[in-house]
Amino acid sequence: MTKIPFKAIAVDMDGTFMNDDLTYDHERFRKVLDQIKAHHIHFIVSSGRPLSRLKRDFADYLDEIDMIADNGAILVKDNQIISSHYLTQSTGLDLIKFLETNYPQAQICVSGKDASYYKNSAPNSFKRSMRFYYPNSISINDFTEMPTSERIIKLTLNCSAELADEIEAKFNHNHNERIHCTTSGFDDIDIVPFGINKAQALKYFLRYFKVDPSELIAFGDGLNDKEMLELAGLSYAVANGNPEIIKLAKYTAPSNNESGVLQVLEKYFEN
């Protein structure tokens, strides 16, 4: 059997594994996944998408892959959550109030343990997008209507990505429980507990699998993939990726619309 130079694969979803119409080639992936399993390699989806969406995306493969959801806040192995990170309820509510007061132009979706929430007053385009990415989403008049038992995993903002550093710095200046803002580089910002990112989540999996980071191959396209690509021994940016990420990665894969991730993996298994 061919010697493969990696023991784990980490793959971002939007703009990387998924093509622009938010689908992927299932038949082709099935063949590649069979090769991955034959070589006893771990396949880890590493995404900003919530777990409810990822479970739909990979419904046929849930017992064969591992998943990092919400940009590192949720880790799943064997279709079971093995690690999760939440904001405390008080900090989560303070954060929502801070955003609504200081950044009223930002549309907000709150990703919780049991469901996700956005306001009835949000633009229809935002609500349509959130209904796709958050299948268990609920429209409410005000975020104070969320159940008191709800635990906040992540906030997704639709606003200029250039605000990410400012939001993080301003909020953290006045709060002991800090946040981390990450972005793919487009008009979106994800806010998660401080210290949470894809690389930290991958380190957890790699320790569990007894795999060294040098034996990891990772694929990404956006700024929220930066730490993950820096961690991996083999790093690929897809050709459609953010220029900063293409410059950072060691190699460039064909674009997402050309199934670039699968193309690269197929070539490794052909040799």
Q: What domain count does the chain have?
A: 2
DSSP H or E segment with residue 30: helix 26-38
Tell me the CATH number at 127.
3.30.1240.10
Where in the sequence is the domain holding 250, given as residue range(s)? 8-84+197-270
One domain, residues 14 and 74: yes
Q: pLDDT tens across 176-219, in order? A: 999 999 987 678 999 999 999 999 999 999 999 999 999 999 99
- Cα within 13 Å of Cα(214), Cβ side: 0
The model's pTM is 0.94
Separation of CA 91 from chain center: 22
Question: The domain that contains 224 carries what CATH number?
Answer: 3.40.50.1000
Confidence at residue 2, expressed as pLDDT on a 0 to 100 scale: 61
Confidence band (pLDDT; 50, 70, 90) for 1? Answer: low
- Domain assignment present for residue 28? The answer is yes
Residue 3 in domain: no
Whether 264 and 248 map to the same domain: the answer is yes
Tokens for 47? Answer: 């995404």
Are 99 and 166 members of one domain? Answer: yes
* Buried residues in 222-243 as b, exposed as e (16+ CB within 10 A): bbbbbbbbebbbbbbbbebbbe
